[in-house]
A and B are shown apart, each in its own frame.
Chain A
């Protein structure tokens, strides 16, 4: 963002951006700003400027040593998502060049889902066989924009992880509810309510192991969840499990 463009930002926008970065906006206003940030370049510039202005204040906080488990958890999550090997230089250049478009595509909808899945699947084929895992990319039904990734292991301490690829907007009086249904089940089973932008981890020891093609979806429900125990609202994101090794 050039300084000439930021120079034309009205004071109210600087004020809104400042309160947003400071953290003093109430939850509903925060979500409004997050929604606007997707395509409001002036607001983006104002927010970035405040992030850099206030960043030194993080130096007033003492660091806290993370538990040794934390990095292992991060690695496991990244394993399931990332292109696995460092790329040679020309390839890296491609990624860097294309990455903006790729990730804009991910939020705006489009083909990027294929690139993501291809990267994961190709990467996985090149690795030695590990325990069977399943992966699901949940996309919006209307524009096929990927919004979430689900990872599940088929054995061991079984847990399903729902990982956001971005921030989604949910009306204030509503909540997203996470469901799954395998072939032969009479109805979807709730895996809980979802906080937009945050990973949800659900122990699924009580459920049968994840199967190929098992359905996962997020529906829009009342804030306290579906009153009937079955999905009642519109499907916001949906996908089927793919086995990755």
Chain B
């Protein structure tokens, strides 16, 4: 992972809300614009969670079809259009890994293999590369107020799609402790961000 500051993701010139409205109106070009705008990052986010290139593309496909068919159900009064788009994709990705996890939880060898693979992912490099204040907007300073280990729990969960158990193994911390850290970190973030 590079140590350059991450590219700022907010692209105010792209009107996500209008694009979803156009999708709801049956304008295929709108879906294509959205794909051109976000396809690469959607795939990056999904692939990070499912850790499989082919499965990640399947999920981005399903997410785009979902976005197309459900665009009309998006209600701007309830949240941002970009947030909705990512929620559709992350939802499918998380379902995929959680369903898989149900199969492997009883299998210690598989769990150990998953751990070994996870440990190869150079998490520490990424942690060093974070530039909170510049890249993350309002959540940045709030994350910074958390102890690093608690911040890592939140990021392992959201970014890597890890379960409580996987985070506990990765951080070599007791499961109950990890659960409590995450619970308190979420409360602190909500307090901080409103």
A residues sitting closer than 8 Å to B (CB atoms) are 1, 11, 14-15, 18-19, 21-27, 30, 44-45, 47-49, 51-67, 70-71, 73-75, 77-78, 81-87, 91-92, 95-96, 99-100, 102-104, 163-166, 195-199
Contact = CB atoms under 8 A, between A and B. Distances in A.
A51 B79 contact: yes
A228 B71 CA distance: 40
A137 to B, nearest CB: 12
A55 B61 contact: no
Interface in B96-154: 96, 98-99, 101-102, 126, 130, 135-140, 154
B36 to A, nearest CB: 9
A71 to B, nearest CB: 6
Nearest to A71: B35
A66 B193 contact: no
Contacts, number: 212
Contacts of B6: 59-60
Contacts of A75: 28
Contact of A30 (B75, B80, B95, B159): B95
B61 A70 contact: yes
A53 B56 CA distance: 24
Given A64-B47, A65-B40, A96-B21, 6 more contacts: A22-B182, A24-B164, A51-B87, A86-B25, A87-B27, A198-B96
Taking residues whose C-beta sits less than 8 angstroms from the other chain, chain B's interface range is 35 or more
A21 B22 CA distance: 27
A21 B158 CA distance: 8
A157 B56 CA distance: 23
Interface in B69-86: 69-73, 75, 77-80, 82-84, 86
A164 B59 CA distance: 12
Nearest to A165: B69
A14 B182 CA distance: 13
Nearest to B102: A27
B139 A57 contact: yes
Contacts of A18: 186, 189-190
A197 B86 CA distance: 15
Contact of B80 (A52, A58, A60): A52
A86 B26 CA distance: 6
Interface string B29-51: 10110010001110111011100
A145 to B, nearest CB: 15
A102 B84 contact: no
B163 A26 contact: yes
B78 A14 contact: no
B83 A81 contact: no
Contact of B159 (A57, A67, A70, A103): A57
A199 B136 contact: no
